[in-house]
Amino acid sequence: MAVTVLGIAIFVLLVLRVPVAFAILGPCVAYLIATGQSLELGLRTTINGIDSWPLLAVPLFVLLGVIANRAGIAERLFDFALALLGRVRGGMAYVNVGSSVGFSWMSGSALADAAALGAIQVPAMRRQGYPLNFSVGLTGASTLISPVMPPSIPAVVFASVAAVSTGALFAASVIPAFMIAAGLLVYVAIWCRRQTFLKAGRFDGRLVLRTGTRALAPGVTPVLIIGGILGGFVTPTEAAGVGCLYLLVLGFCYRTVTLRQLPSILREAAATSAAIMLIIGSTSLLGWILARQRIPALVAEWMTGLTDNPLVFLILVNVILILLGAVMEPTSALVLSVPILLPVATQFGVDPVHFGVIVVLNLMIGLLTPPIGPVAYVLSSVTRIPVGTVFRGLLPFLIPLVVVLLVITFVPAVALWLPGLLKP
């Protein structure tokens, strides 16, 4: 009964648009008071939830995305991809996905991708006659590459909560991220074949050389970050620090970042990081309450009693996580669901790293689905397109994303091959 009342209270507060962290924290504090628990215990549990070495990388990766955005890196990558694919029929659509792949190596956040590239990609596609729904839908769907591709902020959070190697989870995410890009490209190719208005552009080798030169220095960033982590030269936290310093130097050299802008850059990164950490802390307290009420054990008993087939279990997990991601902010959904579902997954013999990739991709799909759909709201803000139109544009692109999710779910080798290859 206590957990039911707690869940209803959280749901009502979320519907009333109370910030996620406070919508969770308020009912949890009320539970502590009602059950005679110490508020000091609640405070300690909340703080312990964010007192984690892997989580130290989160603010730095957030800062990395902010600097990349402010330094104009997205625009340079977009210009190079456009020059490279200019002669391809429907090239602008392919450029949309390609520039998101390039920016994903520096961002780690779908919202950063939507804010940085959305304002560039959607107007550019509209000027070339692409339908509004297709333009905004493809732009929103391609933002999911960033939170899956390393350096992925959700992967860092999962690694901290699940106590798995961040480097192994990063390695496991590379192929799935490229599969998302490939799935979107296949969808684009099929769509383009039916459009008679699309014309191939003119290839200009000098333009490719010029834009490629402008994108060369930013292209070193993933080598520093991902190469450093997977090569064992730096920890994820150190790699994020190196990446921030490198992009900051580039911003100064390009004169797109000045010393006067540093305080606003740091404030933006600090505000985003604080929101993430507060959500993690509040959901840690909620997790403690659920554990006290034996909810994880009850869920485990229910699932193991329902089936003894790992594939059926993973199908159930996919359904649960997609529904959870549709109504909850992804970070809070991740921190809340992993302590409950991961022990059950290990009972079914599912590798924790493989499970991490499944969880992240499921919850990131929730970024595109109503009623929460943060990516849709960001795109609506930067493009001034009604959010309902954005959601309608996103709907068809859920098909290739779900197909990729199912392949990753049923073929663990897709995620585990690269970590196994890099294991000493």
Report the amino acid identity of residue 324: L
Say whether 17 sits in a helix, a strand or coil: coil
Overall average pLDDT of the 398-410 stretch: 94
Rounded Cα–Cα distance for residues 88 and 94 (Å) = 9
Single-letter code of the amino acid located at 208: V
What rounded mean pLDDT belongs to the chain? Answer: 85
- Amino acid 70: pLDDT: 85
pLDDT tens digits, 113-172: 888 788 888 888 888 888 999 999 999 999 999 899 988 888 988 988 888 888 899 999
Cβ atoms of 355 and 409 closer than 8 Å = no
pLDDT at 201: 65
- Measure CA of the first residue to CA of the last residue in the chain; give whole Å: 50
Q: Is 389 helix (H, G, I), strand (E, B) or coil?
A: helix
Higher pLDDT, 314 or 323: 314
Helices and strands (DSSP H and E) totals, the chain: 24, 0
**Amino acid in position 398:** L
Confidence of residue 308 (pLDDT cuts 50, 70, 90): confident
The tokens describing 390, both together, are: 């954005």
Q: Are 393 and 132 in contact (CB under 8 A)?
A: yes
In angstroms and rounded to an integer, the radius of gyration of the C-alpha atoms of the chain is: 22
| Overall pTM surpassing 0.95 (yes/no) | no
Q: How many residues are listed for the chain in this entry?
A: 424
